Structure formats: C-alpha cells, structure tokens
Structure 1
C-alpha cells in the first residue's frame, strides 16, 4: 500500500488542479481483468477513474481517486462530473456495436446522428475504414467492428461536449 501523503510534510493539501481523468476500463474489458491504480495521496488500492492532479509548488503530478481529487482541488462537483462523463462514454462505447446500423445503397454501414453522417466501409485492400461527414479516419482496421469502435472513439473526442448527442 502506498504511503498516506495526507500526513507527509511538504505535500500541499489544497490548491491542486485536475489536468486529466483516465478511465482504466474505457475499452469495456471485464472488471476482473482491469489493472486498477492506487491513489498516490491516500493509498486506496482500487481506483478505476484516475484524476491526474497538478500543483504549482510541485513538479510532479499525482494520480488520485475522486475523493482525494475533491479535497485537493476544493471542488466537490467537478471530479464526480468528470467521472460520470467517462462512465457515460464507457457505457455508450459498449453498446455502440449493437446499435441499429443502416446499410447504404453502396452497402456501407452508417448512422445519422444529430446532423453527423458516420460511415464504415470496406477498402479495396480488404480492411475497413470510417468516415465522419466528409472526413476520413486516419487508418484502416482488420474488421468492421474495430473500425466502428475507432469511429466511436474519434467521434466521441470530437463531440463529447455536444449536449444533444451525449446528455441522455
């Protein structure tokens, strides 16, 4: 177990800023296969959502759980909201392949979401690519499912703050 830094001299208790939050199970693997983190502030050993915290007086970042992130930043809503966003993403990604994909006249799978046309298509080389509107994904994938998941990741990154797409 990691030492409790709340009791360590020289480690600030307040004034921290969250610079990132990471879901260690973002790709939907089972809970028993997840490599959880240990909170670097209190030593809690089973952290799924890692809040990366920075302090102006320290060069290092600390990776902590939600409760410590709340105390360190004196923000008792932001960490929970960030975790809820990541939880929402994980649930939606897990259901992404089960969505009702339509098939175009060309035989490509597609979805139309709030004005976005999302397409997964076979390439001439036998792999799979995707397109968001007029923008093609940067690489190809061995299966259509892998292309659909890459499309989800790209689409989420581009639209995660779009309230009509992701708020419900």
Structure 2
C-alpha cells in the first residue's frame, strides 16, 4: 500500500522497530535500471534504501524511507547509520574489482586482507569459484569477475562489523 499513512487512523506513529534495511541496488546495477520502492508511510516514490519496520500492534511490516524510519522509531541516528553502512558497502563493492589482485604461483587471483586469504580460481568445469581461507564458496560462476563479486558479498556478510577491514579501503 502506498500513499500518505501519517494521516490514516489506526496507523501508529511511534513505537516501531527496524528489522532490516535493504539496498535495492545492492548488485551494483545502474541507477536508471533500479526498481525503486515507494515509502508505505509518506508515499515518497523513489526509495533506494528500504527500512523494514515492525510494530507490536500490527501484523504487517511497513517498508519506508530513512526519514519516516527515524520518526516511526523515534531514533534519529540508527536509520542514518544503517543506511550509511549500505552506502559504504555499495561503494566498496564497486571498487572491489579495481583492487590490486595478486596472482599466486598456481595462477589464481588473490587478496590478503588482515589475516584473510581471499582466492578466486578456475574450476575443472571452466567456471570460477572462490574461497575465504580454507572455506570454499557454495557456488561457481561463469566469469572470474562474477566470482570476485560473490566473494565480496560473502566476505562482507561475514566481516562487515570488523573496522580493521573496512575503515580505510
């Protein structure tokens, strides 16, 4: 449902909790191909970072923008901080392929980051895989760059709170 729900009877204005924030362009696609969301609280039609809000008095979650998330949760730092983290992730993912990847003696591309050995390698089936330390990625990919981006996604999910890794890259 879209439109302005701030004036709708029965829709609470406060007491909401953010359960997740989603970047609709997390895959790094171009802006003109992004399917933006509409804020379910104010009706803004161009929301890239969707804050999923829940309220104990309602069965449905609302998908809203940052400003509405702030007002609904009465938290004027958390939503901006969560959105900034996603913005930083998107920028880092964009730069990931331009990093200075080294080549191992076996011919595999790799990075060593703060004790983590990140490797992208060709498989016997002419596809590409990755590994983080001794842990292999769950899938293979058609190109080395797709494997590198999947490696980024997996590595980010596991280490996003580690400031040693993400504070200066």
Is this a same-fold pair by TM over 0.5? yes
For 2:127, the equivalent position in structure 1 comes to 127
Q: How far apart, CA to CA, are the structure 1 residues paired with 2:167 and 2:83? A: 14
Q: How far apart, CA to CA, are the structure 2 residues paired with 1:167 and 1:35? A: 30
For 1:69, the equivalent position in structure 2 comes to 69
For 1:81, the equivalent position in structure 2 comes to 81
CA apart distance, 1:3: 2.1
TM-score by length of 1: 0.98
Q: How far apart, CA to CA, are the structure 2 residues paired with 1:35 and 1:97? A: 24
For 1:105, the equivalent position in structure 2 comes to 105
Q: How far apart, CA to CA, are the structure 2 residues paired with 1:106 and 1:13? A: 59
Superposition map of 1:16-27 within 5 A? 16-27=16-27
Local SS of the residue matching 1:70: helix
CA apart distance, 1:167: 2.2
Q: Which runs of 5+ in 2 are unaligned?
A: none
CA apart distance, 1:2: 2.6
For these two proteins, the number of residue pairs brought into alignment is: 168
Superposition map of 1:1-168 within 5 A? 2-168=2-168
Local SS of the residue matching 2:28: coil
Moved over 3 A (4+): none
Q: How far apart, CA to CA, are the structure 2 residues paired with 1:30 and 1:130? A: 25
Q: Which runs of 5+ in 1 are unaligned?
A: none
TM-score by length of 2: 0.97
Q: How far apart, CA to CA, are the structure 1 residues paired with 2:60 and 2:152? A: 33
